[in-house]
Chain A
Amino acid sequence: MQKINNPEQLIEWKQNVLSKRPLYKKTIVVSSGTCGQASGSLQIIEALKHELEKRNLEKTIGIKITGCHGFCELEPNIIIYPGDIFYKKLESKNIQKVVEETILKDKIIPSFIYEDSRTGKKFSQQKEIPFYKKQMRVLTENNLKVDPTNIEDYLALDGYQALANVLFNMTSEEVIAEIKDSGLRGRGGGGFPTGKKWEICREFESETKYIICNADEGDPGAYMDRSLLEGNPHSVIEGMIIGAYAIGASEGIIYVRGEYPLAVKHVRIVLEQAKKFGFLGKSIIGSEFQFDIHMIQGAGAFVSGEETSLMASIEGRRAFPSQRPPYPAQEGLWGKPTNINNVETWANVPLIINKGAEWYSEIGTKNSKGTKIFSLVGKINNTGLVEVPMGIKLREIINNIGGGIKDNKKFKAVQTGGPSGGCIPADKLDLSIDFESLTKVGSMMGSGGMIVMDEDTCMIDVARYFLNFTQEESCGKCVPCRIGTRQLVDILTRITKGKGDKKDIEKLTDLSRSIKDGSLCALGQTAPNPVLTTIRYFRDEYEAHIKEKSCPALVCKDLIIYYIEPEKCVGCLLCLKDCPVDAISGERKKVHVIDQELCIKCGACLEVCPPKVSAVSKYTGNKRDRILEKASRQRVKK
């Protein structure tokens, strides 16, 4: 195939792709994003190839290697079509059986299919699994169908048709009107209306304009952008080209986070393909429009996800934010009008053009349209990427899609919006998930991280974690952010060590306000959110740490002890052998004892103590004091 010179050729090519496809009797789709590969998908692929070759099946049975399927908990997983059979957590030694039973005899292997841990119900089909069934996968569904490195897979799903439509049937104003009508808002966190943003940039006159795809996904616990870039990168590229046409940009940059090697690799491949087939470069699809994209790899600085810092980083400088106005639309990269959108925003664009603004705007709430991908992680049963319509209730995401809390523990809070967001407590579970509602409760949409926390999570420890993060990542330009976040970390650390002062809560609140007011960019303006929301919803936990010197969630090391229950210990020597500081004494079949003075509270004993015995407990507060007192009395006696 060569360069596409007109829309008819594009359609012809698609038909050609469809008609020339080998007619496999069955196709095995292997989820092989970063999580999949980390869990062994590459070994699964090898084993499959080997097994099919051995039986001379490679011509009748196809293997498709795709990006992430979203259900990260069950990696490595495969789906067999037709039949939609979903096998989870496979190992290479299982592959022979898969081929023998399911591929050759159409028999479903019960031990490989998904079982709902709460209801005990089994599901053999991917679409029937509650985790998938209750989602609305308009963006992520194609991850199951596309080999990201094969442009033909994307074409078969009407890839680049939206671009052809835009270039030949729409003016740039019409494209912008369509995006405005759809109600699409920026998915990177700010939620600014995308069409409006394009319009502003379009109106500034300049010979050179830039568009940027912000793929510097830095929020810890959020990875939907990674998944889109790994799994369906052409959709992002197509969105960018459409945006460039609407705005009148001639150059695009995709800034990919350096910590995502697979995404970097796939973007590099698809950019080459798009150039080769005439979707980038001069005279795109034979039109007069010309545009090119190149990729820049991030170098590990969280602040470069902020738009002005991102541009500084592209210019080869330290990623310092700058004062706005001038906004990037006026004076952005290299001083030229620039439009920046996030990966997920760009991926929505071809979808809106193909299906229409009306279709899109019917999904979601009045002010938040479309779907949003969340990364549902932490103490939840079904960890993974979930795509849901805006306006869905938090409870639905956590209970129905997420399958509830791990190990039947009690739900405590969900943290949204990354380090800029906040913790939402249990009594807000009926909250509608949209831009406004999340802001109202003190959190934010952010890029879509949703970290679920159970009763074993200490909220002060979580606040300290985030502040530690923002403190380290603060670029240092604004004093309130640089020094203020350091002070917040110091105070929080003091509290977790049991050295908190009565006035600390007040101090944290005051300081947080000053940091919010005195910082130039969103990093500083939102950094105190984790502190403010945990104080707002979990004040009692702060008070327990400060007044009673106890950590109710049994997390803060300085406030807890590990203790071996004498009536439960069977004297198996396991913990004794594993203790890194030899703090445990005892003999076989005799009760073991932890020397509290030597113990470094690493938790190794708790981890190795067999679940049947579970003799190791953690204590805080009064109970801890009583045990310590008893231990010291015994020491004196000796």
Chain B
Amino acid sequence: MSGLNKDHGKLIHMLHDTQKKFGYIPAHSISQISGELKISESEIFGVLTFYKAFALEPRGRHLITICMGTACHVRGGVQIVEEMERKLNIKVGKTTANRKFTLETVNCLGCCAIGPVVVVNGKYYSNITIKKVDAILKEYQESE
């Protein structure tokens, strides 16, 4: 550890910024960061793929995140994931062909009292049932 350059600590911070700016980590950003921090591209790639917050592919316009915490799980979170997958016709982690929706899961958002929880573009939806899934999607499908 002691052999590391303290600038190395900026890496995750810069990846956060890049992710925020582009919605993913484009290849040219990796080479740019590599040059700035003097860290090899392969190492940066290793780090960014280790953490869930970073994506290598652009996400859809609307990011749907379903909480998979324990409390959401015992309250039927799995059924919500399956229903979303059916309705969007994609698996978790994927983006619809029209780049409209990306479906992701998260381990716990810490709002266990109101689970199952679905978050779309940062907006929280609480106590979700299979029936409510359609209504949530409609809100965004019609937002064009």
A interface residue numbers (CB < 8 A to B)? 34-35, 37-39, 72-73, 75, 217-223, 226, 258-261, 296-302, 311-319, 322, 331, 333-335, 375, 377-379, 383-384, 415, 418, 449, 451, 453, 457, 462, 465-466, 469, 473, 475, 578, 580, 602-604, 607-608
With A314-B9, A457-B74 as contacts: A607 and B131 at CB distance below 8 Å: yes
What CA separation (Å) do A312 and B47 show in the bound complex?
A: 11
Q: State the Cβ distance, A258 to closest chain B Cβ, in Å.
A: 5
Taking a contact as CB atoms under 8 Å apart, the answer to whether B131 and A378 are in contact is no
Q: Which residues of B contact A217 (CB under 8 A)?
A: 110
Q: Which residues of A contact B16 (CB under 8 A)?
A: 258, 297, 299
Q: State the Cβ distance, A355 to closest chain B Cβ, in Å.
A: 28
B82 close to A (CB within 8 Å): yes
Q: Which residue of B is nearest A38, CB measured?
A: B124
What CA separation (Å) do A453 and B75 show in the bound complex?
A: 10
Tell me which of B6, B15, B68, B113 has the highest count of chain A C-beta atoms within 10 A of its own C-beta.
B113
Q: A220-B70, A297-B16, A335-B3 are in contact. List 11 more A-B contacts (CB 8 A).
A: A34-B111, A35-B111, A73-B113, A301-B50, A318-B47, A334-B1, A377-B70, A384-B113, A453-B74, A469-B107, A604-B83
Classify the secondary structure of A's interface with B: mixed
With A226-B110, A299-B51, A334-B6 as contacts: A462 and B74 at CB distance below 8 Å: yes
- Within the complex, which residue of A223, A258, A603 is in contact with B112, where a contact is CB–CB below 8 Å? A223
B114 close to A (CB within 8 Å): yes
What CA separation (Å) do A91 and B131 show in the bound complex?
A: 22
Q: State the Cβ distance, B109 to closest chain A Cβ, in Å.
A: 6
Q: Which residues of A contact B112 (CB under 8 A)?
A: 72, 221, 223, 375, 377-378, 383
Q: Which residues of B contact A453 (CB under 8 A)?
A: 74
Q: Which residues of A contact B21 (CB under 8 A)?
A: none
Q: List 17 A-B contacts (CB under 8 A).
A: A37-B124, A73-B113, A220-B69, A223-B112, A297-B13, A299-B16, A299-B54, A300-B53, A300-B106, A315-B8, A316-B9, A334-B6, A379-B74, A383-B112, A580-B83, A602-B130, A607-B130
Q: Which residue of B is nearest A261, CB measured?
A: B122
Q: Which residue of B is nearest A452, CB measured?
A: B74
Q: Which residue of A is nearest B15, CB measured?
A: A299
Tell me which of A300, A312, A608 has the highest count of chain B C-beta atoms within 10 A of its own C-beta.
A300
Taking a contact as CB atoms under 8 Å apart, the answer to whether B111 and A72 are in contact is yes
Interface residues on B, range: 35 or more
What CA separation (Å) do A279 and B68 show in the bound complex?
A: 39
Q: Which residue of B is nearest A476, CB measured?
A: B50
Taking a contact as CB atoms under 8 Å apart, the answer to whether A315 and B1 are in contact is yes
B91 close to A (CB within 8 Å): no
What CA separation (Å) do A604 and B86 show in the bound complex?
A: 13
Q: Which residues of B contact A297 (CB under 8 A)?
A: 12-13, 16
Q: Which residues of B contact A75 (CB under 8 A)?
A: 113-114
What CA separation (Å) do A475 and B115 show in the bound complex?
A: 28
Q: Which residues of A contact B73 (CB under 8 A)?
A: 220, 462, 465
B79 close to A (CB within 8 Å): yes
Q: Which residues of A contact B23 (CB under 8 A)?
A: none
Tell me which of B71, B79, B130 has the highest count of chain A C-beta atoms within 10 A of its own C-beta.
B71
Q: Which residues of A contact B82 (CB under 8 A)?
A: 602
Q: Which residues of A contact B131 (CB under 8 A)?
A: 578, 604, 607-608
What CA separation (Å) do A220 and B105 show in the bound complex?
A: 13
What CA separation (Å) do A258 and B51 show in the bound complex?
A: 11
- Within the complex, which residue of B12, B114, B124 is in contact with A316, where a contact is CB–CB below 8 Å? B12
Tell me which of A38, A75, A222, A331 has the highest count of chain B C-beta atoms within 10 A of its own C-beta.
A38
Taking a contact as CB atoms under 8 Å apart, the answer to whether B79 and A331 are in contact is no
Taking a contact as CB atoms under 8 Å apart, the answer to whether B71 and A378 are in contact is yes
Q: Shortest 3 CB-CB distances between A and B: which pairs?
A: A335-B2, A72-B113, A223-B110
Q: State the Cβ distance, A75 to closest chain B Cβ, in Å.
A: 7
Taking a contact as CB atoms under 8 Å apart, the answer to whether A451 and B8 are in contact is no
Q: State the Cβ distance, B142 to closest chain A Cβ, in Å.
A: 21
- Within the complex, which residue of B3, B8, B68, B125 is in contact with A220, where a contact is CB–CB below 8 Å? B68
Q: Which residues of A contact B126 (CB under 8 A)?
A: 38-39
What CA separation (Å) do A258 and B109 show in the bound complex?
A: 10
